[in-house]
Amino acid sequence: MKLGVILTEQARTESTYERLQAEKLSVVLAGNGIYHAVVKADGKPSKVLDKAADFYVLTEDMETRGFTAGDLVDGKIKPIDMSRLVDLIMVEHDKFVWL
């Protein structure tokens, strides 16, 4: 199954996120979830990024909080706009969940 996740909180329930499994997993960081993409804690990127997944960050939410693509902590995070998010939800994945 191709599973997509929209992660909107900076804090999350560790066990829920860690238990997610799929043949293809994509994680979209939106809302306050964008902080996982731009802020390091103790000099290390967020543990959210340790998961084997394709990572995306909504540029609108990132820019609203004063960040740009140059602030991303990991080269594997791709900035996307809302139209690309719709493609991910409607075309590229079997299911999408919101955490």
Which string of DSSP letters, residue by residue, matches 32-95?
GGGHHHH--BTTB--GGGGSSSEEEEEHHHHHHTT--GGG-SSTTEEEE-HHHHHHIIIII-SE
CATH topology for 2-98 is Hypothetical Protein Ychn; Chain: A, (3.40.1260)
Dump pLDDT digits (tens) for 19-73: 888 999 999 999 999 999 999 888 889 889 999 999 999 999 999 999 999 999 9
pLDDT of residue 13: 57
Over the range 47-75, which residues count as b (16 or more CB within 10 Å of their CB) and which as e? ebbeeebebbbbbebbeeeebeeeebeee
Report which of 6, 93, 94 is spatially closest to residue 57, judged by C-alpha positions.
Answer: 6
Query: Where exactly are the structural domains of the chain?
Result: 2-98
What's the pTM value of the predicted model, to 2 decimals? 0.91
Structure tokens at 38: 């731009």
Q: Is the pLDDT of residue 99 over 70?
A: yes
49 close to 75: Cβ distance less than 8 angstroms:
no
